[in-house]
Structure 1
């Protein structure tokens, strides 16, 4: 905002063009009897060329319907892609726990563990491994937090391939085909399209 350039104007015009072309696009909530909570998490490792901080992204689903999503630059520089993904996992778990508390306040309970999908096998491995390594000491608090939720059976962390990770839309620039595929999976539909 302090030093706008031509590229910034082009990016803003591209966003306006997208919004103008999709006036009827929105999220359609479908009726579903299950109340399972799921989250997809992702991080772009050192994605900011200015300060090399990563961006965390997550989206959460209740009964297959998208209910919350967030994308935010991480507050510290990650030393590895696993660390960046691990921080994203911790944020996703916090969001799942918040949603679970809201559901419990509404007297809606689910015995199923909440699913936290991640596309980084190293981060999932660190979450399950109780041994403390020198390489993970800088993320020790997040590791203990995630491990506690795994051990209690509150969450499970299945692996999802990068091409199927819905949180990619929040952290990466995607080509139009992948973008449209993910938008469709998020439950976004065009109310003006013929039925």
Structure 2
């Protein structure tokens, strides 16, 4: 590192070689995580194979203690209260820590408990964002993006402040961690970070107007007896007016609760809607397999086969029929991957009508009735609304 202020004349052009990491350096988080991991493993905890920030310890009586760490923010949970109390005491002896009690606020996310379940929202974060942008008194919007909205680039448009645009979109990306209803809209506006125009800023403001309508909406996790992992996949074929690439969308439910979702522009141009849907299916299957491994790290079992709901019969036919080589040789890797999983019986791909396809909200702008239907099926609720 460079010499501290006041020592420049003594050191000249020389630099200091560090013997240990200092707070604020680029390698400090990695060094701290290695140090913390070594300590946690010494206490008998196992590091997760699916997520290296997850640590678990199962007792002989079948109880489990779970630790999740994000840099220096730590969450402890599980039904082994004795082990959790002992771990907190040992961590206090090793590090300087502060016990904040029951989880209520974590990384900008608010956690609330009730008889119905556990809700996770970002109401304060949303209201702060609306206040910062001066949109707290705006006219609310019913949907985060206009129906069939197609944003592109045009030379006759007026450019806007790039730094302000990037800052706003970055905050919306973080907000989408608990708001799958804005994921597609945020995915669209994030494609124009390098050269935003007025039309793109209007789309960002549309998202803010929608958030004004429902600032407290968030995820609800309910206790169920279902031990299943289910995914819904969809795509919008050639939806981009710039390069005609398709948009993939999927959402996965673990034990009946929405856990992960994604809206992503595909990296290559699809030659047909079936091909676009097929690539989306591959993403959904990968996510299901990863979630199955997460449950394994948590010492939990799930029912098989894993279900992947798709509304495209052609894509389902390609997955089940290995003969159609001429029409599928350009998606050969995805075809082999999906067919292998089908043959092993680890997944199944039931057909679902487009009217019941929940992932529709992650691939295109919808009219309010269909949008509200999809959002309600995702399990999003606003606990701050009067009952």
1:110 CA drift (Å): 2.2
| Contact preservation (8 Å) 2:227, 2:303 | no
Partner of 1:16: 208
Partner of 1:97: 289
Q: Secondary structure of the residue that 1:28 maps to in structure 2? A: strand
Mean CA deviation greater in 103-112 or 82-91: 103-112
Q: How does 1:44-193 map onto structure 2 within 5 Å? A: 44-193=236-385
Would the alpha carbon gap of residues 23 and 91 (structure 1) be closer, same or farther in structure 2, given more than 3 Å must change? Answer: same
1:194 CA drift (Å): 2.4
Normalised by the length of structure 1, the TM-score is 0.96
Structure 2, gaps ≥5 residues long: 1-192
Mean CA deviation greater in 88-97 or 4-13: 4-13
1:6 CA drift (Å): 2.7
Give the distance between the partners of 1:129 and 1:162, measured in 2 at CA: 22
Structure 1, gaps ≥5 residues long: none
Q: Secondary structure of the residue that 2:300 maps to in structure 1? A: coil
Q: Which structure has the higher relative contact order (CA within 8 Å, separation 6+)?
A: 1
Q: How does 1:25-36 map onto structure 2 within 5 Å? A: 25-36=217-228
Moved over 6 A (4+): none
Greater C-alpha Rg:
2
Normalised by the length of structure 2, the TM-score is 0.49
- Backbone CA RMSD of aligned residues: 1.1
Give the distance between the partners of 1:96 and 1:158, measured in 2 at CA: 15
